[in-house]
Amino acid sequence: NLAAANGHQVRVWSRQGSQTLQVVLKDVQIVLSAISMIGVRDVASQVESFPLSPETIFVTATKGLDPQTTCTPSQIWQTIFPNHAVVVLSGPNLSKEIQMELPAATVVASNIPTAAEVVQLIFSSHRFRVYTNPDPLGVELGGTLKNVIAIAAGVCDGLQLGTNAKAALVTRGLTEMVRIGNNWGAKTETFYGLSGLGDLLATCNSPLSRNYQVGYQLAGGKSLTETLTNLQGTAEGVNTCRVLMQRAKQQNIAVPITEQVYRLLQGEITPGQALDELMLRDIKPEYNY
């Protein structure tokens, strides 16, 4: 909608639509993928079988991690299309609000600055402010990692733990995101921008967030299966949390909040026990300067 409103010709493909991928991809300048993580590798492989100009830019909006490889979506697109520019689009972008034409901002990040600038121009408008950023990994991880913290935030609100608890959770959640991101090779500053803190604030505070909803429903006593069955759309944080735990163990990264969300999703502990585990951890300095 945003690109079309700016006068661009837009074609949409979904596996349930009537248009074939081949027809939709003919002569395109930009391919934007907003497919759930679970379908990214498969769809990227399908796209590979059709002819594309070497100038075609790939834009990825998916916020997730590949369970097999722990790769991010942009890493998957870049591996399959090594000679094309790949741009990550991520920010505090609850789609229902954007559809209502409420103001929002986002980030487009790429190792190729001119590609990010092309995408910035395509989507920018008086209702959608687009910033460029040179750290695609950090931008992508911000949008991905915050989903796990958003599940925890939903639990926090579902248990009515109060504003102090929520502030503590979100702040320590950001510290955890920075720690994981740094280990992965992302820049610290990126996590304090729109795609990190910005998206964290949006999703941890809005019932429009599916990830927040998962936490909220779990706190209300619903099972994960029941919650996901009734959820409209994908809650990527559920899969991300599992992949993240695997990677954190391999790399020996401290991820206390992610660990409690993981155990809760596995049905190993109750929301109340997860809270106690976090509050009763060994006391320590806020930062290791």
Ligand X SMILES: NC(=O)C1=CN([C@@H]2O[C@H](COP(=O)(O)OP(=O)(O)OC[C@H]3O[C@@H](n4cnc5c(N)ncnc54)[C@H](OP(=O)(O)O)[C@@H]3O)[C@@H](O)[C@H]2O)C=CC1
Ligand-binding site membership of 211 (annotated): yes
| Closest approach of ligand X to the CB of residue 239, in Å | 10
256 binds ligand X (CB under 6 A): no
26 catalytic? Reply is: no
Candidates 207, 128, 141; CA nearest to 174 is 141
94 binds ligand 13P (CB under 6 A): yes
141/178 Cα distance (integer angstroms)? 9
236 binds ligand X (CB under 6 A): yes
Candidates 237, 61, 65, 255; CA nearest to 150 is 237
Q: Is 76 exposed, middle or buried (0-12, 13-18, 19+ CB in 10 A)?
A: buried
| Closest approach of ligand 13P to the CB of residue 208, in Å | 6
Q: What is the DSSP letter of 196?
A: I
| Closest approach of ligand X to the CB of residue 259, in Å | 22
134/178 Cα distance (integer angstroms)? 17
201 binds ligand X (CB under 6 A): no
91 binds ligand X (CB under 6 A): yes
Q: How far apart are the first and last CA of the chain?
A: 46
Phi, psi of 226 (to 5 degrees): -60, -45
For CA atoms 63, 182, 41, 80, the dihedral sign is positive
In the chain, count H helices and then E strands: 15, 5
Enumerate residues 6+ apart whose C-beta is below 8 A from 286. Answer: none
Site residues for ligand 13P, 155-194, by CB under 6 A, read none
Identify what 209 binds: ligand X, ligand 13P, none; CB under 5 to 8 Å per kind: ligand 13P
Identify what 65 binds: ligand X, ligand 13P, none; CB under 5 to 8 Å per kind: none
Measured from the CB atom, the residue of 70 and 205 that comes closer to ligand 13P is: 205
105 binds ligand X (CB under 6 A): no
210 binds ligand 13P (CB under 6 A): yes
140 binds ligand X (CB under 6 A): no
Tokens of 150: 């958003």
Ligand-binding site membership of 199 (annotated): yes
Measured from the CB atom, the residue of 85 and 151 that comes closer to ligand 13P is: 151
> For the chain, percent helix, then strand, then coil, each to nearest 5?
55, 10, 35
62 binds ligand X (CB under 6 A): yes
- Active-site residue, from 26, 96, 146, 187: 146
Q: Which single residue brings its beta carbon nearest to ligand X?
A: 39
Q: What is the DSSP letter of 11?
A: -
Options 2-10, 74-82, 90-98, 180-188: segment touching ligand 13P (CB under 6 A): 90-98
Catalogue the active-site residues: 146
Contact residues: ligand X, CB under 6 A: 14-16, 34-39, 42-43, 61-64, 89-91, 93, 95, 106, 143, 233-234, 236
Binding site for NADPH: residue ranges? 15, 63, 95, 210, 236
